[in-house]
A and B are shown apart, each in its own frame.
Chain A
Amino acid sequence: MTELTLIQGVNKALHQAMKNDPDVLCLGEDIGVNGGVFRATDGLQKEFGEQRVLDTPLNESGIVGMAVGMALYGLKPVAEIQFLDFIYPAFDQIVSELAKLRYRSGGQFPAHVVIRTPYGGGIRGGLYHSQSTEQLFASTPGLKVVIPSTPADAKGLLLTAIFDEDPVLFMEPKRIYRTATGEVPDGDHRVPFGKARIVREGTDVSVFAYGAMVPTAFQACQVLEKTGIHAELIDLRTLVPLDIDAVVRSVEKTGRAVIVHEAPKFCGFGAELAAILAEKALYSLKAPIARVTGYDTPFPYTLENLYLPSVDRIGRAIQRTVAAG
């Protein structure tokens, strides 16, 4: 065990994967000499060389398309998109190629690719360094979507992603890159996909969150504990595959649900969770489902702290939900 930050967990996972398997390569903008703009790939090129840690030209479609080509041969590329906000030139490669290769070739050509990308607000990044658009990818069949919230999960989920045959979008909560710290197992630590983490147990209400919203929601739950509300907090970890049993089971127990994410509400991932609960746990519900999300606008610069779900906003939503029935 070593005490690490979340971004160190990412770095350790990449290091471990490259040490395990010479077919693991990293590619992206500024990831080599510079070690990535957030330093996620710091030291990798020095240790593994320019052949395995590639500084690419500035073209996201090229980065993902190149990774697809490498995977067609049998390599296990890990592509970095510098910010999720910049991923859209590669949307065609992700949605039309990466996510469909296995299906359209009858399994002849799996697409063993990981795309790592920092996402989310709270770093004074304005419209184009802050967005959370996980729902665009979670609704694309053929793609796994993974979002860690702790250093141990960052390492363990990324290692699982790199050695998973299916394509994975690995979204890193950049606001807590350095503020989330914790003990991380040494060596080849893997965390399985499709298993949600119960951050704290509770009996009155289930709070669902992922990524950077987990520590914020956790604080809200801790504050409410003192007022006698026992909230259960579930960190989904992987949106695809989703741990539906954990979601349904928790609400069957508590009878109430509050869903938290940074992305706008309309057609966000919370809409899917709410629909699941309506289909599978309606008769357990004692109160309407609440969603605490980013507002349905582009992402603001100066007022980002009002835009993002805060401890207060989440806490009030939990209080209202518990009071509703």
Chain B
Amino acid sequence: MSGVPPSSPARPPSGGAAPANADDVGAGTAVVPLPYSAKQLQELLGSSWEARLKEMYRGMLLGRVLDTRMLGLQRQGRVAFYGPATGQEATSVGAALAMAEGDWVLPGLREQLIALMRGLDLTLYLHHLFGNDLDTARGRQMPCHPSAREARYVSMSSNIGTQIIHAVGLAYALRYKRETGVSWAFFGDGATSSNDFHSGMNFAGVWKLPVLFVCTNNQWAISIPNEKQTASPTFAEKAQAYGFEGSRVDGTDVVAVYHALREAREALASGKGPRMIECVLYRLTPHSSSDDPSRYQPKGWMDRAKAHDPLGRFEAMLDKLGMLPSAEREAVRAELDAKVRAAIQEAEVMPPPRFESLFEDTLRTPAWPLTEERDSFDKEQGGNFP
């Protein structure tokens, strides 16, 4: 299998032709290393390429360690729900590193790693996963729905696609205020069928706004594969109809993602309208902790998909290049694991939110009947019954 030069993001992903449908996951189960030589990496990532590679590795590993730990806690009943992003680490990390500080993130389902890389404190994120009193949103949202203003990472709803048009309004505001930032809309393959994919793509095209539409195509919208989601051969080509460029990149290749998104971001920052980039990747876990893919995925799909594991591919490249010896990698993993464990320990013992928080943040100043409901809380819920 030959790699695709990341400077040509319009080409199909590096493991060969992009899959036309979800059955086409490839035959082999052996991990395909990322295809770069040291010289190519230097060209693509600049003089500090080695440091950048380490950053990429750390980022992807943090995502993997978190997913592993949290899925474990979910199975033990210590958190009610968890939405892993295993398989998507290269896309999230490549995107986070391609962003500028003044950029805004409108996340889809699995972008939490981006928030962490942009400054959301790990322990604060764990407070959110446990829904405790120190959670920014006071335990109001299901896990994996953080809000991180400090990272310009907007609180998401669970409704699909609604954030896409928000990114457009944000981009309008950025341009109106003469800011240089770019607005990033993340969404999955399923969201390309949603109403606000259409409204967002259309509005951004009309006003030529600095919105980077990133489709994280993990090939499954819960149980629905790509070919049941659209009759278009690719999602990226939908951009053409809205009057701007759409392209595909191998979403399991962190170098290719970083390069393609950085290039697109620079074009947007210089006023060259919106762009859409489809990152083709593989969902390496169930949709969520509440999903059972054996009901709908072809037998062996997940095993074969693991050949496209972004972290495995990256490590196989490091092996080939003789970089980051395994002892060093182990040390990074151990360090991240310790950090995650410490954050879990700290967050798990925190009490649930104060009851008063039930009545806060609906409106700036609570109005009747909420005021009355708050004031009679003790009478309604306190004491013994009967």
Q: Which residues of A contact B (CB under 8 A)?
A: 25, 51, 56-57, 59, 61-62, 65-75, 77, 89, 92-93, 96-97, 100-110, 141-142, 144, 164-166, 194, 240-242, 244
Residues of chain B within 8 A of A72, CB atoms compared: 104, 154, 166, 169-170, 173
A66: chain B residues within 8 A (beta carbon): 165-166, 168-169, 172, 199, 203
CB of B358 to closest CB in A, whole Å: 10
Complex contact A110–B364 (CB within 8 A): yes
Q: How many A-B residue pairs have CB under 8 A?
A: 149
Q: For A66, A105, A108, which residue has the most chain B Cβ atoms within 10 angstroms?
A: A66
Interface stretch among B137-145, B212-220, B257-265, B327-335? B137-145
- Min Cβ gap B228→A in Å is 23
CB atoms of A69 and B136 under 8 A apart: no
Residues on B with C-beta less than 8 A from A240 are: 367
Contact B147 A59 (CB under 8 A): no
Among listed B6-14, B25-33, B155-163, B313-321, interface-contacting one = B155-163
Which 6 residue pairs across A and B have the least CB separation, nearest first?
A69-B169, A65-B165, A62-B199, A241-B367, A73-B173, A105-B155
Name B196's contact: one of A56, A61, A144 (CB within 8 Å): A61
B159 A96 Cβ-Cβ under 8 A: yes
Is B174 among interface residues, defined by CB-CB distance under 8 A?
Answer: yes
B381, CB-defined interface residue at 8 Å = no
Are B149 and A102 in contact, CB atoms less than 8 angstroms apart?
no
Distance, CA A67 to CA B367, complexed state (A):
24
In the bound complex, residues from chain A placing their C-beta under 8 Å from that of B141 are 104
Find chain B residues with CB under 8 A from A241 CB.
363, 367-368
Determine whether the beta carbon of B173 is less than 8 Å from that of A97. Answer: no
- Whether the Cβ atoms of A69 and B206 lie closer than 8 Å is no
Q: Could you say which residues of chain B place their CB within 8 Å of the CB of A194?
A: 367
B361 & A107 in contact (Cβ 8 Å cutoff): yes
Q: Interface extent on B, as a size class?
A: 35 or more
A-B contact sample (11 more), CB < 8 A, given A70-B170, A194-B367: A51-B176, A59-B199, A61-B196, A66-B166, A68-B166, A75-B173, A93-B162, A97-B162, A105-B137, A109-B155, A110-B364
Assembled-state Cα–Cα distance A103/B136 (Å): 10
B185 CB, min distance to chain A CBs, angstroms: 10
Q: How far is the CB of B239 from chain A (nearest CB, A)?
A: 16
When distances are taken between beta carbons in the complex, the residues of chain B under 8 Å from A164 are 364
CB of B363 within 8 A of CB of A166, answer: yes
CB-CB < 8 A to A141: which residues of B?
362, 370
> What residues of A have a CB within 8 angstroms of the CB of B203 in the complex?
56-57, 59, 62, 66
B135 at the interface (CB under 8 A from A): yes
In angstroms, how far is the closest chain B Cβ from the Cβ of A299?
Answer: 25
| Proximity bits, B177-206, A CB within 8 Å = 1, else 0 | 100000100000000000110111011001
Q: Which of A51, A101, A105 has the most CB of B within 10 A?
A: A105
Q: With A73-B177, A89-B195, A108-B155 known to touch, is A65 a contact of B137 (CB < 8 Å)?
A: no
Set of chain A residues within 8 Å of B199, measured between Cβ atoms: 57, 59, 61-62, 65-66
Known: A106-B135, A194-B367. A69 touches B155 (CB 8 A): no
User: Which of B149, B165, B206 is packed against the most chain A CB atoms within 10 Å?
Assistant: B165
- How long is the Cα–Cα vector from A104 to B183 in the complex, in angstroms? 21
Contact with B168, one of A69, A96, A106, A144 (Cβ below 8 angstroms) = A69
A65 touches B157 (CB 8 A): no
Bound complex: CA A291 to CA B153 (Å): 48
Judge whether B236 is part of the interface by a CB distance below 8 angstroms: no
Output the least CB separation between A11 and chain B (Å).
23
B167 at the interface (CB under 8 A from A): yes
Q: Given the complex, which residues of A lie within 8 Å of B172, measured CB to CB?
A: 66, 69-70
Residue from B155, B174, B202, B368 within 8 A of A57 (CB atoms):
B202
Enumerate chain A residues within 8 angstroms of B140, measured Cβ to Cβ. 103-104, 106
Considering the complex, give the chain B residue whose CB is closest to the CB of A77: B169
Of chain A, the residue at the smallest CB distance from B198 is A59
**How distant is the Cα of A108 from the Cα of B153 in the complex, in angstroms?**
10
Chain B residues in 8 Å Cβ range of A61: 165, 195-196, 199
The residue that A142 contacts in the complex, of B164, B171, B363, with Cβ under 8 A, is B363
With most chain B CB atoms within 10 A of its CB, the pick from A73, A97, A194, A240 is A73
**Do A105 and B136 contact each other (CB < 8 Å), given the known contacts A65-B169, A69-B173?**
yes
- B69: shortest Cβ distance to chain A, in Å? 24
**Of A69, A166, A242, the contact of B165 (CB 8 Å cutoff):** A69
- In the complex, A110→B361 CA distance in Å? 9
- With a cutoff of 8 Å between Cβ atoms, the chain B residues found around residue A92 in the complex are 159, 162, 195
B176: chain A residues at CB < 8 Å are 25, 51, 75
Q: A66-B169, A73-B177 are in contact. Are A104 and B198 (CB under 8 A)?
A: no
> A72-B154, A97-B157, A106-B140 given as contacts; is B206 within 8 A of A57 (CB)?
yes
Cα A59 to Cα B197 in complex, Å, equals 12
Chain A residues with CB below 8 A from B168, complex form: 62, 65-66, 69
Report yes or no: A103 in contact with B362, Cβ–Cβ below 8 A. Answer: yes
Q: B343 → chain A, closest Cβ, in Å?
A: 19
B236-278 interface with A by 8 A CB criterion: none
**Other-chain contact of A68, B138, B159, B169, B370 (Cβ < 8 Å):** B169
A62 B196 Cβ-Cβ under 8 A:
yes
Structural contact, B166 and A97, CB atoms closer than 8 A: yes
Residues of B within 8 A of A105 (CB): 136-137, 147, 149, 154-155
- B-chain residues with CB within 8 Å of residue A73 when the two chains form the complex: 104, 169-170, 173-174, 177
